[in-house]
Amino acid sequence: MVANRGEIAIRVFRACTELGIRTVAVYSEQDTGQMHRQKADEAYLIGKGLPPVAAYLDIPDIIKVAKENDVDAIHPGYGFLSERSDFAQACVDAGVRFIGPSPDVVRKMGDKVEARSIAICAGVPVVPGTDGPITCLSEAQEFSNTYGFPIIFKAAYGGGGRGMRVVKEYEELEENYQRAYSEALAAFGNGALFVEKFIERPRHIEVQILGDKYGNVIHLYERDCSIQRRHQKVVEIAPAVQLDPHLRDRLTADSVNLARQVGYENAGTVEFLVDKHGRHYFIEVNSRLQVEHTVTEQVTDVDLVHAQLRVCEGRSLPELGLKQDKIRINGFAIQCRVTTEDPARGFQPDTGRLEVFRSGEGMGIRLDSASAFQGAIISPHYDSLLVKVIASGKDLPAAAAKMNRALAEFRVRGVKVGSFIMAHCAALLKGMQQGNAPTSYDCPTPPHTYLSCISFCKPPPT
């Protein structure tokens, strides 16, 4: 069973089918006509009478459906319950395998404060921050008095940019504290926040890890996720461009050491910030499959979902041919997220029926989607992601050229997909085609300032 919806559910179903495993979908009342329901061998309604998102957070109902239909294992996808230790524990208690780390590791990694403490114990550098979740505004004021501005509020029990607010001066502190708390509470059911010193214009580099039940841990190199909007990733690249080899070695070694410190099993991602001086700082561990896992698959030729399933079955990484000295990077891959958002309205999600949909395809292009077809209904209830476009090439300029061409081929009518986003990608990809690497980037609004924030670090002279 995949306790999720949309493109990630379909991604897992396809992997299961390739391995001869029967699949089970769950869906909310609002998702009756969604494609992920059609792609599974069986499908069952959950959360009857509940709001759209709450249906996918209804642990008792999901477990009930799993037990009634002899489900052997549950894949949580990303978002929803994927980093909830109580869900992982509920699966174990029901005799159903959870495709991910143990409940205890999910709990430790899901608590950003505890994960930070574990990183310190493993000798991994961290950004200055509070030792635990703060309980009131005065604690944030005390932290800012000690470390100065800018600072950043982060949700203690979730990610994806929700519950995250940057504060640049004292006058903004109270308003951003309240907003971050409300966002975290709405998204994760817990408004707990912690505070960190905000590193300005860093690179956001994350390392893909994979562990098994026997203590083996490997990395599959890194991804550069520096191009973001509202702290949410928009474009991801593997491997990171112009990354110092010594820094790469430190990032991957720290990631593997941290995973071994907690006995990590299955797939996960260790995230870092890299400042302008080349110093790296641990941010968090995402104890699940990432949206951007695709670019790692493209450059390493490792099917991460296959690996997740086999590890859950009890296979060791060496049995699967996954040894560190066998993992090689071949070329570059870029992922762009095409979303149903309207730039003219501050990138608010748009909804409706897709009257026309023609995608960019061809050699070197991979499309992961669930609702990207003519006649599809774009719901207001869930994430605005329409399709993930992944371009692969022998080097970054080749991958960028393919991405630029593919995005230019898209034709979407009926909902807004942000022609401005396409313009932004064209400018960004043109820079990549010239051999430049993007540095830190967070797209602001209003749209007329969108392109002005793209910056590149020039390649070293050859």
DSSP H/E element including 291: none
How many angstroms separate the CA atoms of 226 and 249, rounded? 19
Full DSSP string of 164-178: -EEE-SGGGHHHHHH
- In degrees and rounded to multiples of 5, residue 67 shows phi and psi of -70, -40
113 residue type, one letter: V
* Residues in the chain, total: 462
45 SS3 class: strand
For 294, the token pair is: 């695709």
Report whether 129 contacts 194 (CB < 8 A): yes
Strand (E) positions, 21-105? 24-27, 42-45, 73-74, 97-98
Q: Which residues contact 433 (CB under 8 A, 6 or more apart)?
A: 397, 400, 401, 404
Is the dihedral angle over the CA atoms 291, 293, 295, 301 positive or is it negative? Answer: negative
Q: Which residues contact 118 (CB under 8 A, 6 or more apart)?
A: 108, 258, 261, 262
Strand (E) positions, 320-440? 332-339, 341-342, 348-349, 352-353, 356-358, 365-369, 377-378, 385-393, 411-413, 437-438
117 SS3 class: helix
Tell me the Ramachandran region of residue 215: left when phi exceeds 0, alpha when psi lies from -120 to 50, beta otherwise. left
For 18, the token pair is: 């390739």
11 is catalytic: no
CA geometry: angle 236, 362, 416, nearest 5 deg:
60
Active-site choice (5, 288, 310, 337): 288
Other CB atoms within 10 A of residue 87 CB: 23
How many angstroms separate the CA atoms of 453 and 68, rounded? 53
Active site residue ranges: 288
